[in-house]
Structure 1
C-alpha cells in the first residue's frame, strides 16, 4: 500500500516523478590523525576555503543580482580573517585541518543562533561552507544538487543558499524537505519559480533515490509509490487547477466585485524589470532596496539609486509602486557604516532604526526616490521597515513628505505596531503588514527554524488576530492596509484577509493567478463571515477548517 507523508504546503502545485536526494555532506573520518606539519596543514585548510570561495563566486556569475548577492556573501564568509585565525590556532594546537574547520565553524554557528534574526539565518550558509571545504580536504564528492539525467523531485533535509540559488526549474519538478519553516528561503524561492514545494516533512528522510513520488503541494502530502489511479487523480486535479487559473485576469476582486489589489514583491533588478512588469498584476506592493546596499563597499549615491528606481518606475508606468526604504542594520551589516556591538542584533538597530542612527542614508534614498518619481511621473509610495511607535511613524512620514513624496507609510512587523495600529495610521498614509517578521516576533520563533514551523504557520490565530486589529484600524481611519508577507500568497487565506478589510495583497509573481482565482470564489459578505469564524479558532487546523 502506498505510503503517504505529510508536511507544510509551501508552494502550490502537483506533480509525479522520481525522487533524487540532495548530495550528502561528507563525514569526518572516525580516526583523527596527528598533525606532524602544522604549516602544511594550515596551507591545506586555507587552500580548501579559498577553493570554496572561488567556486561560490563562479556560481554567482551570470545570476540575477539577488541570487548573486547570496553566493557572494557566502564567499566572503569563507574568506573571513577571523575564521582563518581561529583555524590557524586550532591547527597549531594539534587539530587536523578538516576537524579545525568544522569545529571553528560550529563555534560561529552557535554565536549566530544566539543572535537570532537575520544572523541566525546564516547558520545554513556556514554549514554549506564547511561541507564544501571538507569535500575538498577529503577528496569526497561535492554536496549539492543531483543530476540523474532526467527531471526529478528534489528531496533534502534542507536546502542551502548555494543550492537554491543554482536550482534549475527545467530539471526539478518539485521540492520536498524534512526541515524548513513556512517563511524560509526555500519557500520564497519555490514560490518565485512556481515550483510545487512541501517543507517540514520529517518523514521525507525515509525516501530513497528513484522512488516515485506523487507530490500534492496544495494538500501538503507526498505519496510514495502511488498507484496508477492515484497518479491519474492527482494529474486531473492539477490540470483543473491550472485551467482555472488560466481563465483569470484583471484586478483582484471578490465574487461580487469588491476590490482587493494584487501587487508584486520585487527584489533585485537581475536581468531587468521587464519580466516582472509583464505579470498581470496591479503594481508593486514591496520593492526591496537593500540589494543596493548590502554588498556595497561605499554607500550608493543619489544618482546610482535614482537610475535603478527610474528603471523600475518606467517598467510599471501607470501602476503604483511601493518602495521599502533600507532594511538593514546590525543583523544585516553594511560595510560602509560602523554599528555598535549588540548582544541580540535581531532586536537591535535595524530597519528604520538605522535611519535614526545614520540619517544621511535615508536622506539620500528619499532624494533619489523623489527624483526618479518626478522624472517618470510614477505613482510612488514609500514605507519604512521595523517601525514600532507612532512617533517613529510620524518622523518617517514627515521626512518623506518634505522630500516631495506624497504618500508615505510604515510596515507593521512587530506586535507593538499592530497593537497601536490606529495611532500609526493616524500619522501615516497607509500601512503594510509584513507577516513573516510579525509571526517571528509574535511567537518568539526564528522564521528559519523548521522545528518551530508550526508556530510560524500563517493560519495561527494570534497572527490573524493582529492582522484583523490592523485592518480594523485601517477601516476606522479610512487608510489602506496591505499585506506583503508570504501569507499574502495563500489563495484561501486571501479570502480571510479580504473579509478582515485588507485592501491589497503583495506576493511573488507566480502566486498572483491563484490568489486572484481564490478571491473570486466568495462574495465580500462570505469573506467577512469566514474572517469572523476564523478568529474564533484556537489552532491553525481549526482556522483552515472554516473554509473547508
Structure 2
C-alpha cells in the first residue's frame, strides 16, 4: 500500500524512481587519549581541514555558477583561524587529531545553531566539513553520493552543499532529506540544478534502498510505492517540463496580461549565469554576499564594480537591488552588535542603518554610481521595512543619492497591513514570502518540525499578500514576489490571481512558471486565488487549486 510523507518542497517538478541512500557518515572518533606528539597531531588535523577546503574549492570550480560561491564559503569555514586554534587547544588537552577536529566542529556548529537565522542554516555546511575531515584522519570512506547504476531518487538524513553541487540531473531524478530548510544552501543549489527536491521530511531516512518513490518538489510530498495513477501523473509532468524548457518570451497569461518573470541572484557569478536564461531581469539581487566574511565594510569602489557587473549582464533589463540584509541573524564582524536574545526580531535589514547609517549611505552611493550610464534599469529596495516612516526615510535617502526607482520589501505583517501607506512613498514593493510566513505564524524558519506553519499556502500569509496586491492596484504601483513561492507554478497562478504583477525565482523555475501562466487566463487565476483563500489549511488550498488547474500541472 502506498504511503505519503510530507516535508517542504524546495525545488519544483516531479520525479519517480528507486531510492538510493546516501553513504553513511564516518563513526565518531574514539574519545580516548592520544598518546601522540601534540605538534604532529595538530599539524595532521589542520592539514586535513586544509585538504577539505581544497576539495570543496575543486568541486565548486567544476560546478561553476552559484555553487562555486557556496562551496567557497564552506571552504573558508574549514580554514577559519579560530577553528584551527580550538583544534590545537583540544589536542593539547590530550585529544587525537580526529577527535579534536570532531569536537571543535561540533562546538562551532552548536554555536551557529544557537545564533539561528542565516548562520543557523550553515550548520549543515559545518557538519559536512567535520565528516570529511574525520574521514581523512581515520581512513574511513569519504561520505557522499554513491555511484548510481541507474537514474534514482537520492535519500539522506541530510545532504551537504558539496554533494548537491555535483549531482548529475541525468542520474539523480530527485532527492529527499529528513533535515533541511527552504533557505539552506542545499535547497538553493537544488533549484539551480532543476532537481525536484523535498527537505525536512520526517521518516525519509528510514526509506529502504530500491523502494520506488514519487517526489513532488512543489507540494513537498513523497509517495512511497506510488500507484499507477501517480506514476502516470509524474511522467506527464516530466514530459511537460522537457517541452517548457524551450519556451521563451515575456511572461503573460493566456489572455495576454503581462506578468514579469525575473530571477533571483546573490553574486556576480550567479548573475552572469542567470543572464543567459530567458527572463525580464533580476527581481532580487542579494547584496549581502559582498559583506559576509569581511572584517571591514566593502569599499565603495568594490561595491561599484560588483553592481556594475550585474547591471551589464542584464543590459536592457531591470535589476532590483536589495540593500544589505544583515544584522543579528547574519552577523558581520564589523557591526559589533553584541548578542540578541531573539535575532529574527532584532537589528537586521534596514534597522542596521539606525546604528550604522554610513553603511547604507555608502551602498546607495555605490549603486547610483554603478547605474550611471548603464543600459539596465537599476531599482533599489530595502529589507525589513516595518512602518511607513521607515519607507519614507529610505526613499528620501535613496533619491538623494540619485536613484529614481525606490521600493521596499514586504516581509513584516505590519508592512503588509499598511501597504497602502507604504505605497504613498514607494514606487514599488516586493513580497519576501519566506520571512512573511515566519513572522505571520510565529514559526522559526530553522524549525523543520514547524514546516506546516512555514507553508506559504497557509491562509493567513495569503491574506497578507492579497492585501498588499490590493494596495498596489489602488495606487497603480507594481507588487512583486521574490520569495520561494514565486517558483512554484501552482502558487504562481494564485499570486497572479491575487494581483501580483511580477514573479522572481531561481532560473531553473522559469520555464514551468512561464508555461503555467501561458495556459491559464486571468479569470482562472482569480478563481484559483479565491479557492486558496477559502481553504482552511495548506493541503486543502493546494487540492482546491489543483482541481482548477490544467492537468499538466498536477
TM-score of the superposed pair, with normalisation by structure 1: 0.89
Q: How does 1:345-494 map to 2 (within 5 A)?
A: 345-494=343-492
Alignment correspondent of 2:317: 319
Alignment correspondent of 1:74: 74
Q: Distance in 2 between matches of 1:15 and 1:295?
A: 37
Q: Distance in 1 between matches of 2:7 and 2:270?
A: 34
Q: CA deviation at 1:383?
A: 0.6
Instruction: Tell me if the contact between 2:121 and 2:181 (Cα under 8 Å) persists in the aligned partners.
Output: no
Q: Distance in 1 between matches of 2:170 and 2:82?
A: 40
Deviations 1:354-382 (A, max 9, x none): 33433333333322322332212432211
Instruction: Tell me if the contact between 1:413 and 1:433 (Cα under 8 Å) persists in the aligned partners.
Output: yes
Alignment correspondent of 1:22: 22
Instruction: Tell me if the contact between 2:179 and 2:199 (Cα under 8 Å) persists in the aligned partners.
Output: yes
Q: Aligned in 2, Cα 1:269/1:493: closer, same or farther, shift over 3 Å?
A: same
Instruction: Tell me if the contact between 1:179 and 1:451 (Cα under 8 Å) persists in the aligned partners.
Output: no
Q: Distance in 1 between matches of 2:488 and 2:214?
A: 21
Instruction: Tell me if the contact between 2:327 and 2:335 (Cα under 8 Å) persists in the aligned partners.
Output: no
Q: Aligned in 2, Cα 1:270/1:150: closer, same or farther, shift over 3 Å?
A: farther
Alignment correspondent of 2:339: 342
Q: CA deviation at 1:488?
A: 0.8
Q: How does 1:97-246 map to 2 (within 5 A)?
A: 97-148=97-148, 150-217=150-217, 220-222=220-222, 234-240=234-240, 242-243=242-243, 245=244
Q: Distance in 2 between matches of 1:328 and 1:360?
A: 15
> Is it true that 1:264 corresponds to 2:270 in the alignment?
no
Instruction: Tell me if the contact between 1:115 and 1:346 (Cα under 8 Å) persists in the aligned partners.
Output: no
Q: Distance in 2 between matches of 1:237 and 1:483?
A: 24
Instruction: Tell me if the contact between 2:57 and 2:72 (Cα under 8 Å) persists in the aligned partners.
Output: yes
- Residue 51 of structure 1 aligns to a residue whose secondary structure is helix
Alignment correspondent of 1:251: 250
Q: Distance in 2 between matches of 1:52 and 1:317?
A: 38
For structure 1, which segment, 365-374 or 217-226, has the greater mean C-alpha deviation from structure 2 after superposition?
Answer: 217-226
Q: Aligned in 2, Cα 1:54/1:254: closer, same or farther, shift over 3 Å?
A: closer
> Is it true that 1:304 corresponds to 2:302 in the alignment?
yes
Deviations 1:171-207 (A, max 9, x none): 4222122233444433332222211222333333233
Q: Aligned in 2, Cα 1:189/1:46: closer, same or farther, shift over 3 Å?
A: closer
- Residue 331 of structure 1 aligns to a residue whose secondary structure is coil
Q: Aligned in 2, Cα 1:521/1:133: closer, same or farther, shift over 3 Å?
A: same
Deviations 1:86-115 (A, max 9, x none): 444444444444444434433333332232
- Residue 376 of structure 1 aligns to a residue whose secondary structure is coil
Instruction: Tell me if the contact between 1:325 and 1:382 (Cα under 8 Å) persists in the aligned partners.
Output: yes
Q: Aligned in 2, Cα 1:2/1:439: closer, same or farther, shift over 3 Å?
A: closer
Alignment correspondent of 1:506: 504
Q: How does 1:506-525 map to 2 (within 5 A)?
A: 506-525=504-523
Alignment correspondent of 1:530: 528
Q: Aligned in 2, Cα 1:303/1:101: closer, same or farther, shift over 3 Å?
A: closer
For structure 1, which segment, 59-68 or 508-517, has the greater mean C-alpha deviation from structure 2 after superposition?
Answer: 59-68
Instruction: Tell me if the contact between 1:182 and 1:453 (Cα under 8 Å) persists in the aligned partners.
Output: no
Q: Distance in 2 between matches of 1:442 and 1:37?
A: 55
List runs of 5+ in structure 1 lacking aligned partners.
none
- Residue 453 of structure 2 aligns to a residue whose secondary structure is coil
Q: CA deviation at 1:406?
A: 0.8
Q: CA deviation at 1:37?
A: 4.1
Instruction: Tell me if the contact between 1:112 and 1:123 (Cα under 8 Å) persists in the aligned partners.
Output: yes
Instruction: Tell me if the contact between 1:182 and 1:457 (Cα under 8 Å) persists in the aligned partners.
Output: no
Q: CA deviation at 1:141?
A: 1.0
Q: CA deviation at 1:346?
A: 3.3
Q: CA deviation at 1:430?
A: 1.0
**Number of residue pairs matched by the alignment:** 544
Q: Distance in 1 between matches of 2:445 and 2:398?
A: 31
Q: Distance in 2 between matches of 1:543 and 1:222?
A: 18
Q: Distance in 2 between matches of 1:76 and 1:10?
A: 26
Q: Distance in 1 between matches of 2:169 and 2:241?
A: 20
Q: CA deviation at 1:19?
A: 3.1
For structure 1, which segment, 93-102 or 160-169, has the greater mean C-alpha deviation from structure 2 after superposition?
Answer: 93-102
Instruction: Tell me if the contact between 1:179 and 1:450 (Cα under 8 Å) persists in the aligned partners.
Output: yes
Q: Aligned in 2, Cα 1:421/1:207: closer, same or farther, shift over 3 Å?
A: same
Alignment correspondent of 1:277: 275
Q: Aligned in 2, Cα 1:463/1:219: closer, same or farther, shift over 3 Å?
A: closer
